[in-house]
Chains A and B, each alone.
Chain A
Amino acid sequence: MKPSRILVVDDEDHIRAAVGRALDARGYLVEQASDGDAALTVASTFEPDLVVLDLNMPVLNGLEFTRILRTRSSVPILVLSVREDATDKVAALDLGADDYLTKPFSIDELMARVRALLRRASATGPRSLQFASDDVVIDLDAHLVTRAGDEVRLTRTEWNLLEALSEHPGKLLTHRWLLERVWGEGYADDVEVLRVFISQLRRKIEKEPGRPKIIGTDPGVGYRWLLRPAGEEPVS
């Protein structure tokens, strides 16, 4: 199998080198760039399968890079950021980045995210419409959710939310994205509404709503569909 190509973009030489070495040692083909401008040039020739991107960079920062790259490619983007860049992180996800990792991180965490993103990107064929967790079965095609064989009744908004989440298994979906998707534009900042519906949905489909296994939370950022379609193991 052809090795996946990963572009690492970070202005901190030592971090970039360490990430590069680690990916290289695990059989990935790695290219590096030290700023957004250079990264755009490299991306056009290297054609990466994944971009690992630092937000805080000179010349062209991570946000600007993401915005430009998204106009020409849907390659998965994993954002690296320090905790202080929380708003930038959310902005990057809203611009189309796929996931994030907070510095300092361990290489194991990085590898888990990299694998998940690559797997999701390479998943081809018709989207799976069935999920199962414990005694809950979700069949989007049949428009049916059952729990221990009994039908669970969902409101229209709850269905829309469920569909939006399950459409991208494992991907971190920001509050803004979900709100615009389910409620429409103009609701983008109504995080409170989203929180209420997520909690209602969890009460109906999660075995333990306090310890969700289907809809995961990334505090302050968004939610993630944790179930993997048909027989695959759950994402992180």
Chain B
Amino acid sequence: MIASVGTAALTAGLLPLRSDITPLSKGFGYLPVVVAAAAIGGLGPGVLASFAGFVTFNFFFLPPYDTFVIGRGEYVVVLFVFLGLSLLISALLARLAERAEAAEAREHELRALQTLSAELVALVPGPEGYESLTSNLIETFGFTSAALFVQDPGSRELREQVAVGCEPGTTPLHREPDPTKRPLEHLPLSVGARVLGLLVLQGDRDPVTPAESRVLRAFCDQFALALERDRLLRSATEAEVYRQSDQVRRSLLAAVSHDLRSPLAAIKASVTDLLGDGIQRNPDVVREALQSIDNEADRLNALIANLLDMSRIEGGMLRAQLEGVDLAEVLSTCVDRIRLQYPELEVKVSMDDASVVRADPVFLDRICTNLLENAAKVASAEAGSVEVEARAADTTTTIRVIDHGAGVPHSVREQLFYPFFRMSERQPRLGTGLGLAISKGFLDLMNGEIWIEDTPGGGATFAFSLPSVSVVAG
């Protein structure tokens, strides 16, 4: 383009003046055209401009004019010097332009890599982080879709984790043998000899250039390191979780064995005492010993039942049979039982009429009994009273068991519902250490909640709520 137009324009411009200027100077006039063509268009246009200049110079400006015949020997030399010079300039300029272009491409390459690396460093482990990274990658390189396969830690197989710009599961893991389809870019993500993943890129674009390929490979190496980092981090976290749960299990085991062994020790001591020969005994004392054995056997049995419930709750094997339960009925049964157990205890009940809650009646009974027993123990230690109240709100009914003991500090209110939690090592455990944990477990199964409040004037209030059932009159 530049070569032909420039040559034609110059020729037209110089033509009227051709008699006034020496032929040699006119020849130099074509050189800027050649330089311009080569600088802008590269080697091809430069060479074209050289030859166009060579021909037109000869035809129009070397006497005899308007023929290809060359009049004088020195003109032949001038003509070929012009041609040689033009070609040389074209070649040099073209090489320069190429270099500049390569430098620019390289800079672009580095910038792309830098952007992606920065993203890799800040990568949030998991599908979301990988997805945003992958979409940036295909945008940078002009692909339309990509799929990321990551090695499954268990089976060590590659699984598709991210699909951008295409339906999940449609990207083939292996190279398509079908030549009619557009070739895919398969980029392994590996650290050392271990393949951690595979990136498959697809799109309507020219085949990847060597420069781009270099960037992609460098990116993949870094991506693989990021994957490895995430994997190690995950396994470290898992190890930490395992260590902690192991610790919990050990302290649970210690608590369980202590709690099981205490009643057992009392039973064994009493029995071996009674078995002793030749000892004069008061019948009342014998009866007392037998009574103690009976009580401790019951305690052991209750503890085992609680342990079983706890493990059923934790194992997800317990299901609530939800039905409309008359709260007054359950509460009065539990209160009667506690009054029988603690004859000196004063229990006050206050509740709305006809409160019906959606609950499992057996679970509800266990929860109420449990809270009442705890409160009764606190009250009998402090010679106090216990109040029970039930209040229905719009959708839930809240039951409160109120004692006037020492109360529960805020710092341990959550932990109090952990199995075998004790407020302090120094404090004797009141029950089996499982009652509150089981109550919480039951309430979780019944869409209820349990929490601890301060009793006005001192003491603890254990409150739990259950969904109300609206009773339609008539």
Contact = CB atoms under 8 A, between A and B. Distances in A.
Contacts of B285: 21, 24-25
A149 B202 CA distance: 100
Contact of B261 (A21, A61, A104): A104
A58 B254 contact: no
Interface stretch (B54-62, B146-154, B271-279): B271-279
A52 to B, nearest CB: 11
Interface stretch (B187-195, B287-295, B453-461): B287-295
B261 A82 contact: yes
Contacts of A18: 266, 269-270, 273, 289, 292
B265 interface: yes
B124 to A, nearest CB: 44
Contacts of A59: 426
A14 B261 contact: no
A153 interface: no
Given A18-B269, A106-B268, A107-B273, A84 B254 contact: yes
Interface string B428-444: 10000000000000000
Interface string A14-51: 11011101101110000000000000000000000000
Interface secondary structure of B, over-half rule = helix
B197 interface: no
B276 A82 contact: no
Contact of A107 (B257, B262, B272, B428): B272
B299 to A, nearest CB: 8
A84 B258 contact: yes
Nearest to B279: A25
Interface centre among B265, B267, B279 (most CB of A within 10 A): B265
B53 interface: no
Nearest to A59: B426
A141 interface: no
B273 A21 contact: yes
Contact of A26 (B267, B279, B292, B295): B279
B205 interface: no
Contacts of B254: 84
A22 B427 contact: no
A25 B281 contact: yes
Contacts of A19: 269
A201 B62 CA distance: 129
Which are the 7 A-B pairs with shortest beta-carbon distances? A14-B266, A106-B272, A22-B273, A104-B265, A18-B269, A103-B265, A104-B268
9 contacts: A12-B266, A17-B288, A18-B270, A22-B273, A25-B273, A82-B265, A104-B265, A105-B265, A106-B272
Given A18-B289, A82-B258, A104-B268, 18 more contacts: A14-B263, A14-B270, A14-B296, A15-B265, A17-B288, A18-B266, A21-B288, A22-B276, A26-B276, A82-B257, A82-B262, A84-B254, A105-B268, A106-B272, A107-B269, A107-B275, A108-B272, A110-B269
